[in-house]
Amino acid sequence: MALSSTQPNQVSVPVYRKLHRAFFALCIVLAPLILSAWFALCPTGVGDPACPDQARSLAVFAVFRSTNPQLMQVFLFLSLVVPYVYTLSYIGLGLLAMKRSPWLATFGMACGFAAGIVWAAIADSITMLDSMARIGLNPLFVTVENHYYSTWMVLTFGAFWVIGHQLGYVLLGIALARARVIPLWAASLMVVAAPVMGPIAYGTNQGLLQILGYMLVLVGSIPAALAMLKRKDEQGPVRAGVERVAAS
């Protein structure tokens, strides 16, 4: 009987779990922030939703060549960071909703993962384009770029990115709303952001809508990051049984 008065009702959270939560919370917030900054720094301009637009390759090479080298280094660094942070942000959002909405959370994470890892190929192509532009405005480089972007593999990568990151936000937004781990308005912003940064941005050829879409995700991600930091450990059957014995 005396054991119940001395045993604490809550078990202290291990430090490594706190670090895990802080890490995922940081990725959840940083991912849309980095993407919005990436599109804002796009050398071909914020009005280019398909940064860079390969329909005008020679002009793209000229713009890349004339871009401020310091800003270009920042742009390339963001390109390098995106596939890591962006992929982990979807996993973090999915973990929040996994308990109460497992299927939507799983499919949302899968879509986000498929889109995030594709960005490594995008970063590679951006780096190659910049390297060619620094060498010179050689028409042969334009031919190489056009052939590169027309291959079935690159087109498949592009499809995974376009469909994956938008569908991922829709599925995870619905999952988070059903799980009630973040306010409904925050989950709604993630869902609404998908058509804004996708069909509407590309349909109107307005790159600013890409940035707006990621800013909507950023606002909705802040409550998600806070929920990740406050997330409680789920009690397994062994721990629950020990606590019942201690309380008896």
Q: How many domains does the chain have?
A: 1
Work out the burial of residue 70: count CB atoms within 10 Å of its CB; fewer than 13 is exposed, 13-18 middle, 19 or more buried. exposed
Asked if the structure places residue 10 within a domain, the reply is: no
pLDDT digits (tens, 9 = 90+) for 146-202: 888 888 888 898 899 989 999 999 999 999 999 999 999 999 999 999 999 989 998
Asked if the structure places residue 124 within a domain, the reply is: yes
Work out the burial of residue 52: count CB atoms within 10 Å of its CB; fewer than 13 is exposed, 13-18 middle, 19 or more buried. buried
Range of the domain at 27: 15-247
Taking the model in full, what pTM does it have? 0.83
Q: Tokens 């019942």: give the residue.
A: 244
CA dist., res. 183 & res. 98, Å (int): 16
Cα-Cα-Cα-Cα torsion 69, 71, 77, 78, nearest 10 degrees, comes to -150
State whether residue 193 is helix, strand or coil.
helix
Helix axes 207-229, 184-195, angle to 10 degrees: 150
Asked if the structure places residue 3 within a domain, the reply is: no
Asked if the structure places residue 53 within a domain, the reply is: yes
Asked if the structure places residue 1 within a domain, the reply is: no
Q: How confident is the model at residue 96 (pLDDT cuts 50, 70, 90)?
A: very high
CA dist., res. 179 & res. 159, Å (int): 29
